[in-house]
Amino acid sequence: MKLLTFRTLIGIFRNMSKDYKITSTDGEKIQVTTFGESGKGQNCLIYVHGFKGFKDWGFVPYAAEYFAKRNFFVITFNFSHNGIGENKNELTELKKFADNTFTREVNELNEVIDAYMKGFLSSSVNKIGLIGHSRGGAIALIVGSQRKEVSAVASWSAISVLNRYTERQKNEWKEKGYIEVLNTRTNQLLRLNLVLLEDIENNYKGSLNIENAVRKLGKPLLIAHGEQDLTVPVKEAEDLYRWSDKSLTEYFILSATGHTFDIQHPFEGTNEKFERLLDKTYNFFKNNLN
């Protein structure tokens, strides 16, 4: 297989992509990029990034271009509090990052779907599939279980539970009013404020319960995961599959690869394992959005 160079890809992305900003109901800005031609009847795929992720991270533009070349209309976007501002490739809005919540992300994915359904991003409206990576997989599953407009969901390296902090971490969080996590790529120490923990503790049994979302999904689901994922262990994919309707679910484990399928940021090129994931995901949506 001949792999495209990064310089070649940049030229393709510029020709295929369009940038937008959506103003959410609470006045925040959601940065959006679309790939592919609108108005030709293509079904729509919406990519949902994960924790410390963003729409221009690593493989995301390449994956969007891959699906757009295969006749899908693709939407990628940044959650308003994911830390990305004018610099599209680095986390610079750290105060917003600290105040982000899972409920905000659920609401903002709904707002992106609403913008598409109302024709703000495309001149035609068709079936919707969601692709969510890591924490974004959980958000995609929750929203996918709620929205009749979503016809299928693909999770890549998705987490199976949002309430994933130890009691010691929670006690420290409450004492300080925040905890800090290290961004190993940039060595930034990122703060998470108490509003996130309060969101988890108030909602993890209800609106943020991933098990409940998977059990009531009732539509085609692809669970894809790297066998050597150290960030989100493959056991979490097993949990999702255990809760799912087996007649509607495809379970795809990629051997000898990890959380981001051996791709880093900045993007330097694809690989055979990631191409297998893209092909599997393409065939899943081709078969289930027709």
Q: Which tens digit of pLDDT belongs to each residue from 166-178? A: 999 999 999 999 9
Strand 44-48 relative to strand 128-133, pairing: parallel
Residue with tokens 């407009």: 149
**Average pLDDT, stretch 140-155?**
98
pLDDT category of residue 290 using cuts at 50, 70 and 90: confident
Residue 249: beta bridge partners?
221
Return the pLDDT at 15.
57
Return the pLDDT at 286.
97
Type and span of the H or E element at 265 = none
Angle at 211 between CA 78 and CA 217, to 5 degrees: 75
> Distance between CA atoms of 24 and 101, rounded to whole angstroms?
15
Report the percent of the chain where pLDDT is more than 90. Answer: 91
Statement: residue 40 has pLDDT above 80: no
> Distance between CA atoms of 252 and 184, rounded to whole angstroms?
28
CB atoms within 10 A of CB 142: 27
Output phi, psi for 99, to 5 deg: -100, 10
- Select from 3.40.50.300, 3.30.470.20, 3.40.50.1820, 2.160.10.10 the CATH code of 6-288: 3.40.50.1820
How would you classify residue 33: left for phi > 0, otherwise alpha for psi between -120 and 50, otherwise beta? beta
Q: What is the amino acid identity at position 248?
A: L
Q: Which two tokens stand for residue 146?
A: 């709620």
pLDDT category of residue 37 using cuts at 50, 70 and 90: confident
Lowest mean pLDDT among 12-21, 103-112, 131-140, 157-166: 12-21
pTM of the model: 0.94
